[in-house]
Amino acid sequence: MTRLLLGVAVACFAWVGLAAAQFVDRAGATRLRFEAKDYGYVFRDLVWPKEKNGSTIVFVCWEPTILSQYPEETKWVRDSVAKSWEYHSRLEFRGWTECAESNDGIRIVVLTTGPRVKKFGKELHTLPGGMELNFTFDTWSPSCKASEAERELCIRSIAVHEFGHAIGFAHEQDRADTPGECAQKHGTGTTGNVTMLTAYDPKSVMNYCNSTYNNDGKLSLRDIDSVQEIYGKKSQ
C-alpha cells in the first residue's frame, strides 16, 4: 500500500509540472449554457470561422528549419491531428509546409521548453511561433524519452492537446463543476468567454486530471460531441 501511495503521489507531481507548462491565461471569464445541453469547454468567440459549405479550413505551417530537422516528428503531429479533431468534424487542416515570412493560420515552432499555445483559437492566426511543441524532452518531461515508442506517444498526444487549444478549447479541469480534488491539484484558472459544452469529462484530451496523459491522444466521446457541436459533423 505504501508503494502504491508513493506512486500516486509521484504521478500527481508529474501532472502538476505538465499542467504548468501548457497554461495560457485569458481575462474576462463568463460561463454559458445553450440549447438546454452541456457540451465541452470552449472559447466561443475564438472559434475559427466556417466556409459557405459549412467546413472550417485552418492553415498550418512549421517555422523555418523545423521540417528538415524533424521530418518524422512533424509527420506524427500531422497524422495525430488528422486522426482526431479533423477525422471527427468538418475541420480541415491544410498546408503543413514551411512558414513564409507572412503566413495564414497556425505557425508551429519546436523548442526545448514545455509545449503551449500563446493564444487560443483564431487568435493564433498569423502569430509567429504561436504553437510551441517539444520533440526532444531533454529538459522538459524527460520521462517522454524513456524509449522511442514513448517519445512518439508523447509527441502525438501533446499535439492533439495543443491543437485542442488551437481550435478554441480550454482545459477541462478549469470548469466550475470540476471535482474539488482535481481543481485543487490541476486547475490553472483559464479564463475568457468560455462555454461548457458537455458534462465534466474525466477522459477528455484537454483534462490534466485524466489518469492517462492527454488520453494518449485519443478523443473521448464527449470530446467528439464537443468538436462536432462547434465545427460540424462530417456527412456520411
Q: What is the pLDDT of residue 21?
A: 43
13: exposed, middle or buried (C-beta count within 10 Å: 0-12, 13-18, 19+)? exposed
Question: How high is the pLDDT of residue 32?
Answer: 34
Torsion of CA 15, 122, 38, 202, to 10 degrees: -10
pLDDT, tens digit (0-9, with 9 covering 90-100), for 190-218: 444 444 444 455 567 776 665 566 667 88
3-state secondary structure of 234: coil
Average pLDDT score over residue span 155-181: 75
What are the angstrom distances between the C-alpha of 177 and each of 6, 165, 181? 28, 20, 12
Of residues 186 and 81, more confidently modeled: 81
The dihedrals phi and psi of 26, each to the nearest 5 degrees, come to -150, 125
What is the reported pTM?
0.76
What is the model's pLDDT at position 42?
A: 77
> Percent helix, strand and coil across the chain, each rounded to 5?
40, 20, 40
Mean pLDDT over residues 172-192, rounded? 46
Higher pLDDT among residues 162 and 193, named by residue: 162
What residues contact residue 176 under an 8 Å CB cut-off, 6+ apart? 31, 196
pLDDT value at residue 44 = 87
Task: Residue 171: count other Cβ atoms within 10 Å of its Cβ.
Answer: 26
Architecture of the domain spanning 2-231: 3-Layer(aba) Sandwich (3.40)
pLDDT of residue 18 exceeding 60, the answer is: no
Q: Looking at 44-101, which runs of residues are DSSP E strands?
A: 56-62, 91-98
Radius of gyration of the chain (CA): 17
CA 192 to chain centre: 17
Q: What is the pLDDT of residues 134-157, one digit of tens each?
A: 999 999 999 999 999 999 999 999
Average pLDDT, the chain: 77
Would you say residue 68 has pLDDT above 90? yes
3-state SS assignment for residue 41:
strand
